[in-house]
Structure 1
């Protein structure tokens, strides 16, 4: 890092200010866009009739299962609390063979689910093969599975992975009774990203209910300072398999170095103009927001490589960053940001730190998209996962600091930095981190996905398996298959299919 940048950061810290107020907001917009794109692909997949027969699906008017709601205890661990909330779920019976057919449970996470969660995806293709009952359950406090007062401080502490697993256990009992299931109807759960962790943890904590689990892109090891995220970003930008190169990584690093120097010199007017800030930058918090938003553009492209089209790939990013006709690396980053804004239909970027805090403090329930306040609370109360850039191996802005992230926990939720670290330690002790000591779980990861650094990457036993897919990104295996999927992904899906078949075919040692 340049001496001027170091000096300015130290000066800001000495004055009692966070060097980066709050991580960038662009990643939330990218996640929303990815959710929309996935639903559109699922819709196209279903409407295209790919391998869906009329015999399996019935008449067209019954194609889409209806959303339903199940009353859940607000607090499973205090029976004196009689409060409840309604959890949204869907059931698809069209592919199921009731006499011994398995149950495939699709677990929701930090965003709303839709009916397509039981109509398309890897788990649905597998259900077709193995004649499974499909059940999708939305996570408490996300989507429509929340009370109107759920986001206030009084109720927010009922949002936790432990409560979510207890919800799944209650749902298991309800579905089993409703459909008259027996031990012959084995349950296998599926999830990706945080729900991937829940999938593994449901099998770990409730092995008498869940026969096996597929955990895709599952960050089962909680970590306060997630420095490895941007180390994987760095490697992915250098990876020729996905169109990266060492030169690309170096150019990205040089571009962000130039941004850091301009921030340190206080050249806000030029940055506001070049990166189309919605309003003038006001202090170090806004500086950090701008740096975080720019970093999110690169991080989002790497994490969701190919999810948002051909111009949102590592290969496209690297071609643009190699275009010397655009000028110095800084000018190429300006062009990359402009390309991102056009793709996202943005006229300007909101770099206001105070507005970001206000949105996190908002208790207004939105029954759609990702739950920003909810998820940030979970990172403070359980997981950490803060994607920092304070080491020499990071190609992005050094304004992405750990202090800034944990400061938000204190300002928004009243959770101190030491409490966040304690929560992370407890989560790892409770679930076993990346050594969960379970059985019949397959952990599936793409090697360019930054989240794979917190997952299980090597076989832990003969039935606790790891599958790392060359050249694929976050949760790639969970999407419906598409023409042009790399051979490594096609092969991985075949391995998952065969492993589930093996787990379903094994007979118990003793009669049921």
Structure 2
């Protein structure tokens, strides 16, 4: 089982392609913000929509995740929904080493000397650099020192938006951090919590038979694929693109299945979605319905039941020719995230006897060895984000809303209760992965509507305070009146 699943497995929303329009822009940013050993720069991509922006209007800034920025821009409808009432400029910044923002072009992933500049710290510095440019470009002659910026982000992007406010409070006045597992690190969250939530979602929404079938399948898969004939049999049964041949292939298909189950839990929205793959509404219930309706009496029947259910995820449109177990989505930069999870984003994961997954202990040495084999690097046996961003010691931070849906396994590492009066938590009991950052929908639950209303209230409060304090032409007396 892989030690970490890509977080923006992640921003899953349903919006038709090209729903929102943007101007695509680039800015030259330093390769290394923290030393003077190199003067190299590269082009960072960002998207701008100024449809709603007027003089002195704020900047709504999305801190890009591990993937093409267009994907996140087209799937964060909440920012568009509220932009008109705030006269906001919308900006979506691509994360370095993802999409086309590759510092060394095709060489970027070929060696540690090129890939070593991929980190959250460098990405945050990119965003600060870009924000400063935006404030100078759009804030000239606006009677203000600089335009206020609100950061938005979901999943890893939510972590970045929170950390941006924590580390660079002069650049952003507040942050909406959706499904941001900033506490999913060693010593902060038990490693089994993540998989336990996935199990609870499947058992609660799909029934005991569904979760037990999945739990029983692991030993059946291992036993069947112990020989070449069994490997070929399973490859045909599940319509795999290539025949399973080695033990490594078996571990790959176990990881593939694990990630599919996780993704289904995260995207369990009440209406169809299309980001990782096209899916129906309530996909966990649909998936489990296929399993529950299949009356199997032996191990072959069990695997057929799962194979039938897998079509909900792999072939909902009935256009998939075969199943590629090397990936669960075309839109995410999985290789880049694998590198980050080998350096600063080492997130302990384990599963217990009562989960529907294979029992698996957290093994740092195994993770380290795999990282060295793949990238030539080894993670430190310490949690870098805790040292850099504070872990649970957040008392000095302010103006952050942490929102989490309790159907989302990443809520296991999320902030679920208020830290201070200025670091507040919003819990969405029936919400999946950053449900609140999606565009409004007629099938939205009342809890997600209330969460969005709270976000708007907090954003308005932050901005009102900023404008009162920073409109340069107002006298002190006028500011007191305001």
Q: TM-score, normalised by structure 2?
A: 0.83
Change (3 A) 1:103 1:197: same
Name the CA distance, whole Å, in 2 between partners of 1:92 and 1:238. Answer: 42
Name the CA distance, whole Å, in 2 between partners of 1:194 and 1:310. Answer: 25
Give the structure 1 partner of residue 321 of structure 2.
347
Name the CA distance, whole Å, in 1 between partners of 2:355 and 2:71. Answer: 40
- Structure 1 residue 331 corresponds to structure 2 residue 304: yes
Encode CA deviations 1:396-443: one digit per residue, 9 max, x unaligned.
Answer: 234797466544312111223xx3433xx2221211224433111000
Change (3 A) 1:118 1:127: farther
Confirm or deny: 8 A CA contact 1:434 1:454 kept in the other structure. Answer: no
Change (3 A) 1:103 1:396: same
1:115 deviates by 8.9
Look up the SS of the partner of 1:500 in the other structure. Answer: helix
Alignment partner for residue 381 of structure 2, among 421, 435, 441? 421
Give the structure 1 partner of residue 61 of structure 2.
105
Look up the SS of the partner of 1:201 in the other structure. Answer: helix
Give the structure 2 partner of residue 76 of structure 1.
33
1:157 deviates by 0.5
Give the structure 2 partner of residue 53 of structure 1.
none
Name the CA distance, whole Å, in 2 between partners of 1:295 and 1:142. Answer: 24
Give the structure 2 partner of residue 61 of structure 1.
none
- Structure 1 residue 188 corresponds to structure 2 residue 150: yes
Name the CA distance, whole Å, in 2 between partners of 1:115 and 1:484. Answer: 22
Confirm or deny: 8 A CA contact 1:103 1:185 kept in the other structure. Answer: yes
Confirm or deny: 8 A CA contact 1:203 1:211 kept in the other structure. Answer: yes
Give the structure 1 partner of residue 464 of structure 2.
505
Name the CA distance, whole Å, in 1 between partners of 2:119 and 2:313. Answer: 34
Alignment partner for residue 47 of structure 2, among 79, 90, 97? 90
Look up the SS of the partner of 2:343 in the other structure. Answer: helix
Q: State which drifts further: 325-334 or 65-74.
A: 325-334
- Structure 1 residue 432 corresponds to structure 2 residue 405: no
Give the structure 1 partner of residue 119 of structure 2.
160
* Mapping of residues 81-480 of structure 1, within 5 Å: 81-99=38-56, 101-114=57-70, 117=73, 121-146=77-102, 147-148=104-105, 149-153=107-111, 154-180=113-139, 182-183=144-145, 185-223=147-185, 226-239=191-204, 243-263=205-225, 267-306=230-269, 307=273, 308-310=278-280, 313-325=283-295, 327=297, 329-343=302-316, 345-351=319-325, 369-385=331-347, 387-389=349-351, 391-398=352-359, 402=363, 405-416=367-378, 419-422=379-382, 425-437=383-395, 438-480=397-439
Confirm or deny: 8 A CA contact 1:477 1:492 kept in the other structure. Answer: yes
CA RMSD of aligned residues (A): 3.0
- How many residue pairs get aligned? The number is 445
Encode CA deviations 1:333-381: one digit per residue, 9 max, x unaligned.
Answer: 1211244332374433345xxxx6xx9xxxxxxxx93222211101111
Name the CA distance, whole Å, in 2 between partners of 1:346 and 1:499. Answer: 44
- Structure 2: runs of 5+ lacking an equivalent: 473-482
Give the structure 2 partner of residue 13 of structure 1.
none
Change (3 A) 1:119 1:310: closer
Name the CA distance, whole Å, in 2 between partners of 1:67 and 1:485. Answer: 31
Look up the SS of the partner of 2:315 in the other structure. Answer: helix
Encode CA deviations 1:235-259: one digit per residue, 9 max, x unaligned.
Answer: 11133xxx33344323332333433
* Mapping of residues 54-65 of structure 1, within 5 Å: 64-65=21-22
Q: TM-score, normalised by structure 1?
A: 0.79
Look up the SS of the partner of 1:436 in the other structure. Answer: coil
Change (3 A) 1:264 1:461: farther
Confirm or deny: 8 A CA contact 1:443 1:465 kept in the other structure. Answer: yes
- Structure 1 residue 40 corresponds to structure 2 residue 1: no
Change (3 A) 1:273 1:476: same
Confirm or deny: 8 A CA contact 1:252 1:321 kept in the other structure. Answer: no
Confirm or deny: 8 A CA contact 1:295 1:397 kept in the other structure. Answer: no
Confirm or deny: 8 A CA contact 1:139 1:164 kept in the other structure. Answer: yes
Name the CA distance, whole Å, in 2 between partners of 1:269 and 1:174. Answer: 57
Encode CA deviations 1:224-282: one digit per residue, 9 max, x unaligned.
Answer: 6943221110111133xxx3334432333233343344356884343233223333333
1:309 deviates by 3.1
Name the CA distance, whole Å, in 2 between partners of 1:500 and 1:340. Answer: 37
- Structure 1: runs of 5+ lacking an equivalent: 1-19, 47-63, 360-367
1:141 deviates by 1.1
